[in-house]
Structure 1
Amino acid sequence: MKTTLIIMAAGIGSRYGGGIKQLAKMGKHGEIIMDYSIYDAKEAGFDKVVFIIRKDIEKEFKEAIGDRIREQIEVEYVFQELSDIPEGFRVPEGRVKPWGTGQAILCCKDVVKEPFVIINADDYYGKEAFRKLHDFLIREKDCGARYCMGMAGFVLKNTLSDNGTVTRGICKADENDMLTHVVETTGIGRDADGRLVCDDPEVQKWFSEQERVSMNMWAGEPVFIEYLEEGFREFLADDSGDPLKKEYLLPTIVDQLIRKGEAKVKVLETQDKWFGITYKEDKPAVEAAFAKLIEDGVYPEKLWG
């Protein structure tokens, strides 16, 4: 069975100082974080990669990675644009950012016709999650719901940045590791005394380092992308929230489907340590982490030979 890796790489990257953080070089031979994700995905059994990018970075993006890896795996591109909205709607005056991760995946509707896994371009996930999600797509077909999905469940303490706060979807699951709900939580980090803190006072009362969190690594079937089109119309028609800032986000979409009984999501726990480029100051630590993985034999020094 053919399987596809979808990489969301259209983010503006404002917290990285305005540069294109997804294209920051990490390896000794110019490898970027996406190189390692694609390498792990291919090793796990994925056949195709679809990049979601912006038109204005297309040339630089293809030079940085797309043209290099097309001999290794099938490659396609889709473009996330603010103006790409259904007929009958208009972009609010003053809005400059796209509509979020739900809109990003919706952009793939014409090119993704097989089971898929979604990841962020600027996050390193580790090998375990790719293997588990690929196995899930191959083996677990019928969950008794309209949308059968999988999610890599990272341990919260393994996903923090030393250089600032992060946003994570904090997950709750039942005794069968089926997701019951996701709480999108901002401002997660440590205070001066090393205690875990976040922006949500209610979450602050109960969350811990051991919570399972979503890193936007989801597994699903093409029917989910079809739903996103319907859901995007509902999102745009809803006049609540700031029209210049509100976003159509995957964790929120999945949470709503679970609550309505239309989706079942298997949480596949991974102990791998996340790292990524959230802040410009993260780069030296990420470079050092990849150097250590190469030293330990997890990756060859020159990734693609």
Structure 2
Amino acid sequence: MKTNKPTLLILAAGLGSRYGSLKQIDKIGPSGERIIDYSVYDAIKAGFGKVVYVIRKSFEEEFKEVIIDVLPTEIETDYVFQELDSLASDIKTNPDRTKPWGTGHALLTASSAIENSFAVINADDFYGADSFKLAYNFLISVDDEPSEHALIGYKLINTMSDYGSVSRGVCEVDEDNFMNSIIERTEIIKNEGKILFKDEQSNVKELSGSEIVSMNMFAFKNSIFNRYQKSFDNFLKKNGNDLKREFYLPSVVDELIKSKLAKVKVIETTEQWFGLTYKEDKEMVKTRISNLVKQGKYPTKLW
């Protein structure tokens, strides 16, 4: 069934390597829900018409059993595979490579399953209901601008872990909130009420916490697939013989902005992002979900 509503694309190919068995994906909801379930719930409530997952062939059956088959049948779902040879190319690559090509390549593998505009997220990040509403509203409001896309940006303070350092892409925007660049900051950590990071020269510097950062939640027009294909072809020409180098989703966005081939609106969300960066994060995530259920934001059992 074709829908004109935007699609949600979930990058889930990395779940297999992270957890071994998908049954081990952390259950953080009161009825055993996983973070990915809350993303689907929020997206459908926001108005998205379809969910597409990028997975690996090696865990197809388990993914269907654990993730897809529990969903209500009225939610339209599809999945595509990210493998080394997922996209036909005449460009020669190293036959010894086993590592997938990265998140930009994952996005490209979904082009055959998505006919309209879409939002893309990571499978194991919690983005919050309002973020999906913002992405949906953007996608239905600017359909006549094929080269205008959006990033749902979070305040840095709302994306920190209490248990260790994080890396974040800090957004630099112009006066109209269009992105100029994403600056990668590493080893960001809370320390005695301050937020510190190390710059390229390993100097410790302070951040305010109000900086807007990317958590890889983008709202794209369908035209983005052509841009990614061109960038991926160029990437393979330069790095096809490399065994480990990856083609990252945000790096293409940065490249398109700098070459003025696309504009990316940064739309700020007040939501609290959370994820399972460290194993100690799990109890915090469970507590936050429990509180959201108590506040009536989610039912005790999603489906």
For the criterion TM > 0.5, the same-fold answer is yes
What is the aligned partner in structure 2 of residue 268 from structure 1?
267
Q: What's the secondary structure of 2:86's corresponding residue?
A: coil
Question: Which of 23, 36, 42 is the aligned partner of 2:25?
Answer: 23
One-letter amino acid of the counterpart of residue 260, structure 1: S
Residues 165-200 of structure 1: CA deviation (Å, up to 9, x unaligned):
223221111111111111233332235775421453
Matches within 5 A, 1:129-208: 129-143=131-145, 147-191=147-191, 194-198=194-198, 200-201=200-201, 205=205, 207-208=207-208
**Cα deviation, residue 249, structure 1:** 1.1
Contact 2:195/2:208, CA 8 A, preserved across alignment: no
What 5-or-longer segments of structure 1 have no aligned partner?
Answer: none
CA distance in 2, matches of 1:243, 1:198: 29
CA distance in 2, matches of 1:283, 1:110: 35
The superposition leaves residues 48-72 of structure 1 with CA deviations (integer Å, 9 ceiling, x where unpaired) of 0000111112122111111111514
Quote the sequence identity (%): 44
**Which residue pairs with 1:252 in the alignment?**
251
- Cα displacement (A) at 1:27: 1.2
Could you give the per-residue CA deviations for residues 15-42 of structure 1, whole angstroms, max 9, x where no partner exists? x675659832111222111111111111
Structure 1 residue 230, shift from structure 2 partner:
1.4
> Match of 2:8?
5
SS of the residue corresponding to residue 216 of structure 2 reads strand
The residue type paired with residue 31 of structure 1 is E
Q: 1:244 to 1:279 in 2, by over 3 A?
A: farther
CA gap of 1:84–1:142, structure 2 versus 1, over 3 A, is same
Q: State the match for 1:65 in structure 2.
A: 67
Partner Cα separation in structure 2 for residue 163 and residue 19 of structure 1: 25
CA distance in structure 2 between the aligned counterparts of 1:198 and 1:21, rounded to whole angstroms: 37
> Within 2, Cα distance between the matches of 1:151 and 1:249?
15
Q: Which amino acid aligns with 2:13?
A: A
| Distance change in 2, residues 1:92/1:174 (3 Å) | farther
Runs of 4+ in 1 over 6 A off after TM superposition: none
Code of the aligned partner of 1:277: L
Q: Does the Cα contact within 8 Å between 2:22 and 2:66 map onto a contact in 1?
A: no
Distance 1:193 1:157, change over 3 A: closer
Is the partner of 1:251 in helix, strand or coil? Answer: helix
CA 1:187–1:214 in structure 2 vs 1: closer, same or farther (change >3 Å)? Answer: same
- Report what 1:283 is aligned to: 282
Q: CA 1:33–1:12 in 2, change beyond 3 Å: closer, same or farther?
A: closer
More deviation in 112-121 or 20-29? 20-29
Distance apart, 1:245 and its partner CA = 2.9
Secondary structure of the corresponding residue to residue 113 of structure 2: coil
Counterpart CA distance in 2 for 1:204 and 1:92 is 42
Number of aligned positions between the proteins: 299
Cα RMSD after superposing both structures? 2.5
Q: CA 1:70 to 1:112, structure 2 compared with 1: closer, same or farther past 3 Å? A: farther
TM-score (norm 2): 0.90
Stretches of structure 2 that go unaligned for 5 or more consecutive residues are none
Residue 223 to residue 195, structure 1, CA distance change in 2 (3 Å): closer
Question: Quick check: 1:83–1:91 contact (8 Å CA) kept in 2?
Answer: no
Residue 91 of structure 1 is matched in structure 2 by 94
